[in-house]
Structures are given as C-alpha cells and as structure tokens.
Amino acid sequence: MPSPRWASVPSGFHLLEIVGYSRAKDMPTGAALESRPFMVGGYRWCIQIYPNGRFPEDADCIAVSFALIQDVEHPVKVHAGFSFIDEVEKQDPRHVRTIQITHVPGNCCMGFPRHITREAFEKSEHLKNDCFTIRCDLIIVQEGLQGVNARANAD
C-alpha cells in the first residue's frame, strides 16, 4: 500500500503594529487603521483595526478584522485567528480570537466587532509605550485536502 501523501496547507500570518494608540483612539467609530496588503495562499489580504469599534453599538470596544482585497471567482474558505503579539504563549485566552472555517467573498472583511473593550485593553499588558501589535493568522482550506488527511489519519 502506498504511503499517504501530505499536501502543504497554504497558511501565513501578518503583523500590524500600531504606534501612537493615544492618537488612534481619537478616530471616529467606523474608521479603521489598515495594514499593508499581504499574500497568503495566493490571495491578497489586509488587517483592519477599529480603535473605537466598527459600529456605533460597539464604540466601547476595539474591533479587528481581516479582508480579502481582491476579486475572486469563488469565495475563499479560510480559518483565521487574531492575537496580541506580546508573549503569545502567556496570553489571556479571552483576548485570542479565532474564526472557524468560513467562506470569504472577494472584497469583503470578517472579524470581531468586540475583540476587547478599550477599558480592558488600556489596563492590559498588550499596550506598551503607546504601542501594540496584533497578529492575524490565516489558513486557506482547500476542499481536496480534507479527504487526503482523513484517509491518512485512518491508516
């Protein structure tokens, strides 16, 4: 019997450093700070941080999202995670957020409108010298790989 073949899963991460949080929190609700575009799995993405929430009802929170910033023929199936970059292994799990596998159409963003309240964030160790860094991990799910891994695990 031939040995199972493991295909590599397209994945990657990007960091967005915010320098000058005290100025950023003066931005209006719905206004975002955006990373430079980056590539994962052959797709163009960016990270968005809304220091005063994306929507009026979430104005007391920091919102985070990722966006697929290109047109695509079919929605991209992706698993995403956000975390503050300081000492990832010691983080409070309440501040690490993941999105289970979801289909993202082109030119669309997805994320967490209530990632963390501003009050909790400003008291946390994530904010240092008026700066913080957020990490976005993306794993592109390819339909054909699920069956390959399931068969390999059964052997």
Q: Is residue 1 part of a domain?
A: no
- Each residue's pLDDT tens digit, 98-151: 555 566 666 667 777 788 899 999 998 889 999 999 999 898 887 654 433 333
Integer Cα distance of 65 and 34 in angstroms: 10
- Each residue's pLDDT tens digit, 37-77: 999 999 999 999 999 999 999 999 999 999 999 988 888 88
Q: Is residue 44 part of a domain?
A: yes
Q: Is residue 140 part of a domain?
A: yes
Domain at 53, CATH number: 2.60.210.10
Mean pLDDT of 2-26: 81
**What is residue 16's three-state secondary structure?**
strand
**Contact 3/33 with Cβ under 8 angstroms?**
no
Give the residue with greater pLDDT, 80 vs 31.
31
Q: Is residue 98 part of a domain?
A: yes
Q: Is residue 80 part of a domain?
A: yes
Q: Is residue 4 part of a domain?
A: no
Number of separate domains in the chain:
1
Q: Is residue 2 part of a domain?
A: no
Containing structural domain, residue 48:
11-154
Q: Give the pLDDT confidence score for residue 113 in this predicted structure.
A: 74
**CA atoms in the 13 A half-sphere facing the CB of 2:** 5
**Which among 88, 108, 103 has a CA at the least distance from the CA of 13?**
88
Helix locations, 17-139, DSSP H: 21-24, 118-123
Q: Is residue 132 part of a domain?
A: yes
Q: Give the pLDDT confidence score for residue 154 in this predicted structure.
A: 34
